[in-house]
Every structure is written in C-alpha cells, then in structure tokens.
Structure 1
Amino acid sequence: MQPIRTSRLLSRATLPSQRQNVCAAPHQLKASTRTINTTQRPSLRLPLLPSNGTKTTTRAFGLPDLSSFLPNSNNNKSPHRVLTATRNLPYNPTLLYKVISSVESYSQFLPFLTASTVTARDPETGSPTQAFLTVGYGPLSETFTSRVICDVEKLTVEAKSGAKCGQEGQGAQASKSSSSSGLSGFFPGANEGLFEYLTTRWELVPISPAGTQGGPLTKVNLEVRFEFRSQMHATLMSAVEGQMAGVMIEAFEKRMREVEGKGQ
C-alpha cells in the first residue's frame, strides 16, 4: 500500500503547479487578446503638423467707395474751385493784351479748350463780347455760350460761362451724343454737362516799361473759377484740376514766343 500513497502524494504535489498553469492561461490569453485588439484598432488621432514658425495673417478686403463718383456726394468740402497762376513775362503789356483778347485763337494754344468761335463784337472797339467755347478733357467736353468782357484800360480779359453767370451752356446735347461715352448708364448725371459755371480772367500788370534797362516786364495773372456739375466729373478731373491754371499760363508764354518770332 505504500507505493500507492507515494503516487498520491506526487499527484497532489504536482496539482498546484498544474492549477497555476491553468490559472495563468486565461490571464495570458486576455493579455494577448488585449495586445491584438490594440494593434488592430485604427487610430482616430490626426498627426500634429510640425511647426515651422510661420504666422498666418488675415487681411480684410474692402470694395472701393463708389459713392465718391455719385453726383450728390459731399466728399469735397466745397464744390467751388479757384485756381490761380502768375508769371512775369518780358513783353510789352500792349502785345500781351492783343493775344489774350484774341479769344478766337484760344483753341490754338490753350489746353482743355478744343474750340473757340467769336459770335459777337463791340461795334466801337471790335473786341469780342460773346463766343462759343468748348472745354474738354479726355472723353468729356462741353460747349458754352460765353460772355466776354475786354477792358483795355485795366488790361483785363474775362470770359464767363454757365447758367450761374447768366450764360447757358450749349454742351448738354453734345455731352449726350459724343462726350459722356455711355457713362450715364453707370453714373447718374454724366450727361448733364461738365460745369455749373466756368470763368477765366486774365490781368496784366506792367512792372517796367520798354525803355528801361533789361527791357519790358509784365506780370500776368490768371484766375480760373468753376464748379463741376456732378461729383463724377470732379473725380475724373481731379488728376489735372490743380494743374489747369499753371498749364494754361505756360501755354500762353509759349504762344507769346511764337507771336514775337512772327513779329506781330
């Protein structure tokens, strides 16, 4: 009977080890399953982009303010414009006066004036008293019936155009047909004419007479007053508006050199 007891003892001795292995198997299986599940499960996290130090900025984009082109816009403080220019020229005032009183020749040398026609003259002096003057720049132009005032004693010549000066413009129809270039479809008032009024005044002031040393010298003053009829025209003409008087008096000086060269 002794061998049998030994066998039972051996069997009992090995039983805990077997139980341990049996208990360990589910634990290992669970760990293995957990490892497999972790490996096979798709990741939902997006990889972080590496930072390169670049900053993202946002710029606000705005449309241009079209209200400045509208005829009733009040962007400008005053619709009335006054431009002046002065030049001392080495000519006799009598010769200068002869040129500035020849209104019919204005379109031959004055910029922004594309046509000039005298329609009436003083029967005693022969000086012009009325004229058609066409003013234009680029696609815009307007013809005025202008009242011309020549004062030989004061050495002044003045042309007044526009309804505010008592002279109606003749250019409304011309603007509609040839000058506005279809702008009225976009901007109200484009066909209403360029100016409410336009006046130019030339004044001669003798500085030294012809008999003095250095020859004659005369101061020429030019004053241009006007008001645009619409803000659209003011915007289109803004690029040259401030240069008008200076360019005109330079053109007059060039004209005087031509006249002197012809011996007139």
Structure 2
Amino acid sequence: MSAALAATRRVAPLLAPRRAFFSFPDLAHLSPFHQPESDTHTFHERKILPYSQRQMYDVVSDVDSYRHFVPFVTASRVLRRAPPSGKNDAQQQQLEAELSVGFMGLTESYVSTVVCKPYESVEATASSSTPLFDTLITTWRFQPASPTSPHATDADIGARDALGPTLVSIDLAYAFAHPLHAQISAAFFGQVSKLMIRAFEERCLAVYGPGRR
C-alpha cells in the first residue's frame, strides 16, 4: 500500500481505545448498504513468477517491510512472535502485527495474527476487535510451477529452494464493520488483490533481480 498516503493521526498504543473514522451513532441496520456479518466478499489472484518458494515466502513473511511495498499500508510492525512450534525450519510460526492502512484520505490501524508455514503459505487474520473490519483474511500460497502451465506441479518438496518458477496465489476475504466504509471502498477494493500481486512482483524484482525464466 502506497507510502504516499501518510497517516493523518497518531497511531494509538495497542491497548488504548481507538477511534474509528467517524464518530456517530451506529445506524448500520437502517442503511441500504448494510452488510450482514455473513456477507463477506472474496477475491482470488494468482501468477507464476521466476523465483523459488523460499524467496517469495521470505518477502511475504517480512511483515515489518509491508509499509515499503504493500498497497495502502502506511505503517507496519511486529508486536510479538510466538516461539517456533517445532525444531526444524519447516514448522509453523505465528506472530502478531499492527498495520496502519490509508485510502481516500482515511486512516486506521488494526492488529492481525499472522501464521507462517515455511515455505508454503502466509495467512493474516485481522483481530475481531478492529473498528474497521468484521472480517479481513489474507492468504498467500506458494507452489512449484511449470513455466508453460498456469497450474501447480507435483514437484518434490526439495524444489522449494530451486530457482523457480513458482505459482503464487492470494485469497482475500473481507467485510467492513460499517456500511459507510463499504460504500466508500466499493469502487476499488475489488482491485486490491491484483494490486497486491503486482506490488509483490515488483518487490521480488527489487530484492532478487529479474529471476530465471
């Protein structure tokens, strides 16, 4: 998310009360734009890139760097890392991170639980206490791929350190907590998954170079 969209207010401490974008009575149930909690929107994008699973996993799991390349993220920091779930480096890892997002002049911060499974997936789930979203789940997956096919292959697990290519996919599921936010974002939020894939590709290019096709 663009660094040009600067935060318009100071991010409050994690345990302090947070103000939403607007302070007025919750009349959501009276609005024609009301979204029931079950009305979650989903988007899916995928692309084959000339990098290894390990390389792409390392970019997505580096949450502290999100402010530098993830669309609409203006600040990002890891708050806590849970101890590894096992002794080898393929075990699941979990952390809590605070992200600040800004779009169309609006800014908000929220905490996500991020589950990283080297070198297969990274899933971020926004806390249920966030004032912005009822639901926000972002899932990245990395699978070995053929350069001539848009589908994953049955390559051996050792291919994670190979030069690529790798099929990267992103699944985004979200529901705004307030209908006004849903109305404001409706025109562009469906493009976010495309923007994230593009930003991810540009980040890999900046970190690793053009890769091997």
Work out whether 1:85 is the aligned partner of 2:45. Answer: yes
Aligned match of 1:253? 201
Aligned match of 2:121? 156
CA contact under 8 A between 2:33 and 2:182: conserved in structure 1?
no
- State percent identity of aligned pairs: 34
1 or 2, which has the higher helix percentage?
1
CA contact under 8 A between 2:35 and 2:179: conserved in structure 1?
no
The superposition leaves residues 62-100 of structure 1 with CA deviations (integer Å, 9 ceiling, x where unpaired) of xxxxxxxx7332447863111111111011111111111
Quote the offset at 1:194 in angstroms: 2.4
Q: 2: CA distance between counterparts of 1:118 and 1:262?
A: 29
Q: 2: CA distance between counterparts of 1:162 and 1:120?
A: 14
Aligned match of 2:110? 144
Q: 1:227 to 1:194 in 2, by over 3 A?
A: same
Q: Secondary structure at the match of 2:51?
A: coil
CA contact under 8 A between 2:93 and 2:117: conserved in structure 1?
no
Q: 1: CA distance between counterparts of 2:93 and 2:210?
A: 22
The superposition leaves residues 175-233 of structure 1 with CA deviations (integer Å, 9 ceiling, x where unpaired) of xxxxxxxxxxxxxxxxxx3211211110001114799xxx6211111011111112211
Specify which structure has the bigger relative contact order, considering alpha-carbon pairs within 8 angstroms and separated by 6 or more residues.
Answer: 2
* Runs of 5+ unmatched residues, structure 2: 1-26, 147-154
1 or 2, which has the higher strand percentage?
2
Which one of 128, 132, 135 corresponds to residue 197 of structure 1? 135
CA contact under 8 A between 1:118 and 1:128: conserved in structure 2?
no
Aligned match of 2:177? 229
Q: 2: CA distance between counterparts of 1:231 and 1:77?
A: 6
Q: Secondary structure at the match of 1:243?
A: helix
How many residues align? The count is 163
Q: 1: CA distance between counterparts of 2:210 and 2:164?
A: 18
Whose Rg is larger? 1
Work out whether 1:112 is the aligned partner of 2:77. Answer: no
Which one of 79, 82, 87 corresponds to residue 122 of structure 1? 82
* Runs of 5+ unmatched residues, structure 1: 1-69, 170-192
Quote the offset at 1:157 in angstroms: 0.5
